[in-house]
Amino acid sequence: MSTETSGGSVGTGTRVWNTVLAYIALTKPRVIELLLVSTIPVMLQADRGHVNIALIAVTVIGGWLGAASANSLNMVADADIDQKMKRTQKRPLARHAVPVRNALIFGIVLAFASFAVLYFGTGNKWLPPVLVWITIGFYAGVYTLILKRHTWQNVIWGGAAGCTPALVGWSAVTGTLSWEPFVLFLVVFFWTPPHTWALAMRYREDYRAAGVPMFPVIASDERVTTHMLAYTWATVLTSFALIPVTSWIYLVVAVGAGTWFIYMVTKLWIETRRGVEVKPLKIFLTSNEYLALLCCGLAVDAVINMPTIASFF
């Protein structure tokens, strides 16, 4: 009796834990890392020399809830595609670990929770939660249902959804927007195509099987890498716009990390044109490391608050 009871308890506990993990997977926790990378530095820059840990924590939590909502709703909309791609067949809805109806309700609840946390947590500021809701609607609706399925430019325009954490972070501190968060917005906007296309080059057949017209599916590697190089240059040059309002710390990081990023993508471009077998996932990882370095450089620069470059002129 005791053995059976114990075994039943273990089985029930395992099922509950697996269900919890499935709901966590709906939020794409690894993708949400971008939220932390771009939100915190811009909040520190908005209030240079000061670190409001409570406000940062609330904003990150509220933003995380919003991103989790968008990702969950994205999985609801993409359930049919995910079943056709090897890379995504283990996602909760693709393997029927969570009912679609439950996932939809889960995503909606997260959206309302995000609004509440951001509104009340930032001192009744409307702009941060409104920006998050616009992002949720754009990512789950416009990008997932329209752009992703109908145009190779899907990640170019759809990538705008991943850029808004910079705007949310700045508005959480100031209640308004300025040109500085839009610079980081554009950095992430230009960064998204080479980052995503590198992954799409690796999983080209998956996207083809699912009928998703990703750029590497409909274009040659030479054309794809040429576009990747152009967007990489745009990313790095855009990051330089923040140099006047930062110190030599950000200057060194932006130039150093940017040069390395351009070098790596240029290397891929050259190897592709020569017909050499390439490993595009290296660029995917490099792009992550570049953005992390740039944002960490901005965060450190803002906290230390040394004289800005513009102050010397």
Q: How does pLDDT run across 7-21, given as a tens digit for each residue?
A: 555 577 788 888 888
Position 156 confidence tier, pLDDT thresholds 50, 70, 90:
very high
Q: How far from each other are the two terminal CA atoms of the chain, in whole angstroms? A: 83
- Whole-angstrom CA distances from 309 to 198, 246, 248, 250, 313 are 35, 6, 7, 10, 8
Higher local confidence (pLDDT), 84 or 300: 300
Tell which residue, 286, 291, 302, 223, has the closest CA to residue 37.
Answer: 291
Indicate the range of 18-27, 106-115, 214-223, 300-309 predicted with least confidence.
18-27
Q: How far apart are CA 267 and CA 229, in angstroms?
A: 10
For residue 92, pLDDT over 70 is answered with: yes
Q: What is the DSSP letter of 97?
A: S
For residue 92, count CB atoms less than 10 angstroms from its CB and return exposed for 0-12, middle for 13-18, buried for 19 or more.
buried
User: Are 166 and 184 spatial neighbours (Cβ–Cβ below 8 Å)?
Assistant: yes
What contacts 48, CB < 8 A, 6 or more positions away? 302, 305
For the stretch 217-235, pLDDT in tens is 999 999 999 999 999 999 9
Determine the pLDDT at residue 10: 53
For residue 118, pLDDT over 50 is answered with: yes
DSSP assignment of 161-180 equals GGGHHHHHHHHHHHSS--HH
Determine the pLDDT at residue 173: 96
> In the numeric block, which tokens belong to residue 38?
């771009």
Percentage of the chain with pLDDT > 90? 70
Determine the pLDDT at residue 83: 84
What contacts 268, CB < 8 A, 6 or more positions away? 198, 225, 228, 278, 280, 282, 283
